[in-house]
Structure 1
Amino acid sequence: MKKDSFSKEQKLVSVVIPVLNEQDNIEHTFAELQKLFAKLSEYQFELIFTDNASTDESYAMLQTLQQAHPDLVRVFRFSKNFGYQASILTGYKKARGDAIVQLDCDLQDPPEMIADFLKLWENGYAVVYGVRTKRDENWLMEKTRKLFYRLANFLSEEPLPLDAGDFRLIDRKIMQALNYFHDAQPYLRGAISQMGFKQIGVEYERHRRLHGKSNFSIFSLTSLALDGILNHSIMPLRIASLIGVIVFPLSILVFFGYFIAKFLFSGTIPQGFTTIVLMLIISIGLNALLLGIIGEYMGRIYKQVKNKPLTIIDKQCDQYSEEDSNITPP
C-alpha cells in the first residue's frame, strides 16, 4: 500500500460517489467538486467512485480521470450491479478520510453544502444529513416519498429523520461502527440514524437532474422502501399478530351468533352460502397478507444466512488499495 500523500496537519475528507450509467454527468460533477475543493483548501480530499457495472462509457471516463489525478481520484468497478446502498457502503469501507461525504453523481444534491456539513462536523456532530424541503419532481412522487418517510418512522422502534436521503457526512467513528454491521440488504439511512452519536439535519431544496435519467425504477424505489421498513423494525410482525388476536375472537363471536340464530330463526335465515363465501374470501385475503409479511422477513433471514459478499470489485484504478482486496464482506 502506498504512503498517504496528504499533509498530517490537514484533515482528509472522502467524497463517495456511486455511479451507474452517468457518462453525461461525470465531467461536470468533477469540475464542480474541483471548484469546491479549491475554496476548502484547509482540507485534503479524495474522490471515491463506485461504478455499479455501468453499460455506457462511465468507467472509461473514470479511468481517464484517475490517470490524470491519481492522488485525488479512486475508482472501483463492480462485477455486476449490486444495488445503490451496497455501492455507497463499499465506498465508505474504501474511504480513508476523517470524514466521509456521500454525493450522487447527478448533482441533484448541491455539492456546495459540503462546506456547511464540514462546519457542523468541526463543531462536534458525528452525522450531518441533508433534509429535502422541496424536490423538483411531479406532485404524486413527492407526496409518495413523504408518505414513505413518515410510515417508516412510525413503524421503526427508533426515530428516523424525515425527508432525509443519503446525502450526508459521517465521522470516521461511524464508519468504524458500520464495520460491525453484517447486513445482506443494507439500509444506511436507518442504520446510521439508529447508532446514536450527535446528529443534525440541514434543510435544502433538491434540484432536477441536469443530464440523463434516473436509474431508480418504481420497483427499485419499492424495494428500497421495504428495506427501510423491514430492516429496522419488527412492527409489521407485531401488527400481523395483533390482527390475528383481533380476528380470532371476532370469528368465535360470529360462530356463536350463527349457532344461536340457527335455533331462534331457523325458518327465516337463508342457507348462508353467500356468507360462507364472503368469510372464506376475507380469511384467504388476511392469510395472504400475514404470510406475505412473514415471508418478507424470512427472505431477508435467508439472504443473511447465505453470507454472500456485499460487492465484488472487478476492476479498480486506485493507488491506495491492496490488489487482493476485491471482495467486500457483508
Structure 2
Amino acid sequence: MSHLEARAGHPGAGHLDAGRPEVSIIIPVYNEEDGLAALFARLYPALDALDTSYEVILINDGSRDRSAAMLADQFHVRPDTTRVVLLNGNYGQHMAILAGFAQSRGEIVITLDADLQNPPEEIGKLIAKMREGYDYVGSIRKQRQDSLWRRKASQMMNRLRERITRIKMTDQGCMLRAYSRRIIDTINVCGEVNTFIPALAYTFSQNPTEIEVAHEERFAGESKYSLYSLIRLNFDLVTGFSVVPLQWLSFIGVILSLGSAALFVLLLVRRFIVGAEVQGVFTLFAITFFLLGVIIFALGLLGEYVGRIYQQVRARPRYLIQAVLEQHDGVPAVPGANRAGAAQ
C-alpha cells in the first residue's frame, strides 16, 4: 500500500494517556493545502507505529488557502490525538512554533515542517535518541534534495553563523528537531520577540546532539522562504544571539581611524616637501566614498540592534490565537478564541 493510500484517521496506539503524552509533534502550516492530505496519510500511521502516547499540534499561520479548513477536518477525524491552533494572521514560522510550544504537553517535543521534505517516519529516530538522555536532538539532512546554490549558501551561512554566535548547528535549516520538556518550558517563559528557535534551544541545552535524517523533495507547492527571507533570517540569527558584529565594527572603526590619521600625516608631510598636488584628488574621492560606505553599513548594523530593542520594549503579543480546536473529556471543543501569545 502506498503512503497516499494509507488512511490518515486510523485510531491506534497514539491515544493520549490520562496525563501528559510522551511526545508532542508541532507542525506550523502556511498555504499547504496541496500537501496536507499526504502529510496526514504518512504522519499518523508513523506515530501509531511507535507505540507511545502522542499529540499532534497543527498551527495555521494565517493561510490564505484551504489549509485551515483541512486542519479542522483532520481534527474531527482524530480528535483524540490532534489539536489545531488557528492564528488570526501570518506571524511567521517561528512564532507559529512558539504558539505550538505554549499548547504542548509532551515530555518530548518535536518540530516538523508540513512540506514532507523531512519524512514523518524519521520521528522515531529522534525519540530514540532523546530516550538516551539527550535534551536536544538536532538533525542533519543527508542527500539534500535542494538546489546546488541553496546547499552552498546554507553551508557558508552555517560556518559564518557558528564563528559569530558559537552556536554549533551543522544544518540550521532543518526544522526536524527534538527538545526536552525543560527546554520548552524555558522557551515559553523567554520574552524575546524575535528569535530563532533551534539556536535559542541550543543555548538552553545541557546535553545536545545531532543525528542524520532522510530528506526528500517537497511534495507540493513552493518553499515559503525566498532568497531575501533566508538572508533576513540569518541576519536576525546573527544579531539576535551575538554582539560580535558590534565588536567587529568597533575594531574596524579603530583601524580606519588609525589609517586615516596616518594618511593625514603622510599628506601633510608631502605638502611641505613636494608642495601642492592635484593628481591625488580622485584617490581622495575614492577613499571618501569607501569611508562613507563603511559609515552607512555601520549605521545599518546599529539600526538593526536598535530596532530589535524597539520591538522588545513595545512588549506587543508575539501572536494572537483566533481559536484552538481540542478535545475536552472526550468531546471536541473550540475554546480559547482571541488569546494572545505573551511577549514577556
TM over 0.5: yes
Deviations 1:31-67 (A, max 9, x none): 11121122111x1111111111111111111111112
Q: Could you tell me how far 1:28 is from its partner in structure 2?
A: 1.1
Identity across the alignment (%):
28
Q: 26, 32, 39: which is aligned to 2:42?
A: 32
2:272 aligned with 1:263:
yes
Q: Taking structure 1 as reference, are residues 10 and 275 closer, same or farther at Cα in structure 2, changes over 3 Å only?
A: closer
Whether the 8 Å CA contact 2:107–2:181 is kept in 1: the answer is yes
Specify the SS of the correspondent of 1:317: strand
Cα separation, 1, equivalents of 2:143 and 2:297:
34
Q: How big is the shift at 1:99? A: 1.0
Residue 229 in structure 1 maps to residue 238 in structure 2: yes
Question: In structure 1, how many angstroms separate the alpha carbons of the residues matched to 2:228 and 2:315?
Answer: 24
2:315 to 297, 307, 311: 307
Q: Which residue of 2 aligns with 1:50?
A: 59
Residue 136 of structure 1 aligns to a residue whose secondary structure is: coil
Asked if 2 retains the 8 angstrom alpha-carbon contact of 1:63 and 1:75, the reply is yes
1:259 and 1:188 map into 2 onto residues whose CA distance is: 54
What secondary structure sits across from 1:75 in the alignment? strand
2 CA distance for matches of 1:257 and 1:143? Answer: 44
**Does residue 20 of structure 2 align to residue 21 of structure 1?**
no
Tell me how far 1:30 sits from its aligned partner: 1.1
C-alpha distance in 2, partners of 1:204/1:116? 8
2:167 counterpart of 1:159: yes
| Structure-2 residue corresponding to 1:329 | 342
**TM-score normalised by the chain length of structure 1:** 0.93
SS in 1 for 2:117: coil
Quick one: which amino acid aligns to residue 36 of structure 1? A
- Identify unmatched segments of 5+ residues in structure 2: 1-14, 329-333
Q: Which secondary structure does the structure 2 equivalent of 1:112 belong to?
A: helix
Matched, 1:243 2:252: yes
Q: 1:134 touches 1:204 (CA, 8 Å); kept in 2?
A: no
Q: 2:303 aligns with which of 268, 279, 295?
A: 295
Q: Any conservation in 1 of the 2:20–2:107 contact (CA below 8 Å)?
A: no
Counterpart residue type for residue 326 of structure 1: R
Instruction: Determine the C-alpha separation between the residues in 2 that align with 1:77 and 1:323.
Output: 10
* SS across alignment from 1:318: strand
Distance in 2 (CA, whole Å) between partners of 1:51 and 1:197 is: 32
Contact 1:16 1:102 in 2 (8 A): yes
Of structures 1 and 2, the one scoring higher in RCO (CA 8 A, sep 6+) is 1
Post-superposition Cα deviations, 1:126-175, rounded to whole Å, max 9, x if no partner, equal 1111112332121111100111111111111x332121322101111111
Question: What runs of 5+ residues in structure 1 fail to find an aligned partner?
Answer: none
Moved over 4 A (4+): 8-11
Contact 1:310 1:328 in 2 (8 A): yes
Q: How many residues matched?
A: 323
Give the aligned residue type for 1:319: Q
Matching residue of 1:68? 77
CA distance in 2: counterparts of 1:224 and 1:114, whole angstroms: 25
Question: Which residue is 1:187 aligned to?
Answer: 196
Q: TM-score, normalised by structure 2?
A: 0.89
Amino acid at match of 1:118: I
1:75-110 CA deviation, whole Å, 9 max, x = no partner? 111111101111111111111111111111111012
